[in-house]
């Protein structure tokens, strides 16, 4: 949450609720909606670390609000973030750990685990398809959903491969 907030502040000063709305509008319904409390806690930490600075703005008929702006150190941190690549592939997969450990425990059947996970992925794909239909005018959201669907399809293909391998061993 830290660096996306810095990125939003790169275009100009804003308060926490504006940043929440900007994230929601940018990413659409498929992305988990940010908690406004989490945003304010993160802004406080960014302020303490010198990456942003806050300024109290008086409002006549409402409580004061705090507007945040990016500092030079924040701009440098943001530039460094954009230069970094994302770590992939994910090799610490909780499902795979369950699959690997199931025969050692005697508490779960590997094929049943695969089938349950497959149903979960298919349900998630259906949910994402509905969200895509509802939010089709948001190109960023569409790309996010498309990426998630491609990952899910790859995961489904991998589950099929796991099942084939396990069935060959029996």
| CB 133, CB 145: distance < 8 Å | no
Q: pLDDT tens digit string along 49-87?
A: 999 999 998 888 888 889 999 999 999 999 999 988 777
121 CB-near residues (< 8 Å, 6+ apart): 152, 155, 156, 159
- End-to-end, the C-alpha distance of the chain in Å comes to 46
Residue 97: per-residue pLDDT: 87
Q: Which two tokens stand for residue 61?
A: 């008929």
Kindly report the number of other CB atoms within 10 A of residue 96's CB atom.
14
Q: Is 66 helix (H, G, I), strand (E, B) or coil?
A: strand
Q: pLDDT tens digit string along 95-127?
A: 988 998 888 888 889 999 999 999 999 999 999
Return mean pLDDT, the chain: 90
Q: Over pLDDT 70: what percentage of the chain? A: 98
Torsion (CA) 141, 146, 149, 155 in degrees, nearest 10: -120
Q: pLDDT tens digit string along 153-165?
A: 999 999 999 999 9
Q: Which two tokens stand for residue 119?
A: 């149903």
Domain layout of the chain by residue ranges: 2-83, 94-169
Q: Which two tokens stand for residue 32?
A: 């988990």
User: What is the domain class of 2-83 according to CATH?
Assistant: mainly alpha
| CB 78, CB 7: distance < 8 Å | yes
Give yes or no for a cis peptide into 122 (omega within 30° of 0). no
More confident site: 146 or 93: 146
Residue 25: per-residue pLDDT: 87
Residue 89: per-residue pLDDT: 67
Residue 135: per-residue pLDDT: 83
CA distance 45 to 51: 9
Q: Is 52 helix (H, G, I), strand (E, B) or coil?
A: strand
pLDDT band at 45 (very low <50, low <70, confident <90, very high): very high
Q: How many CA atoms lie within 13 A of 3 on its CB side?
A: 9
Residue 39 has pLDDT above 90, yes or no: yes
- Alpha-carbon torsion 122, 117, 156, 132, what sign? positive
CA distance 61 to 131: 38
pTM of the model: 0.73
Residue 87: per-residue pLDDT: 74
């Amino acid at each position: 949450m830290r660096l996306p907030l810095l990125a939003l502040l790169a275009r100009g000063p804003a308060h926490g609720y504006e940043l929440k709305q900007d994230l929601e509008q940018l990413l659409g319904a498929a992305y988990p909606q940010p908690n406004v409390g989490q945003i304010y806690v993160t802004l406080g930490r960014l302020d303490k670390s010198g990456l942003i600075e806050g300024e109290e703005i008086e409002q006549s008929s409402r409580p004061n609000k705090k507007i945040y702006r990016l500092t030079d150190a924040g701009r440098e941190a943001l530039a460094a973030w954009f230069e970094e690549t994302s770590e992939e592939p994910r090799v610490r997969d909780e499902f795979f750990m369950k699959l690997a450990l199931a025969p050692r425990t005697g508490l779960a059947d590997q094929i049943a685990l695969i089938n349950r996970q497959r149903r979960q992925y298919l349900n998630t794909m259906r949910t994402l398809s509905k969200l895509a239909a509802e939010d089709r005018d948001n190109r960023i959201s569409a790309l996010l959903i498309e990426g998630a669907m491609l990952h899910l399809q790859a995961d489904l293909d991998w589950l099929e491969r796991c099942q084939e391998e396990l069935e060959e061993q029996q």
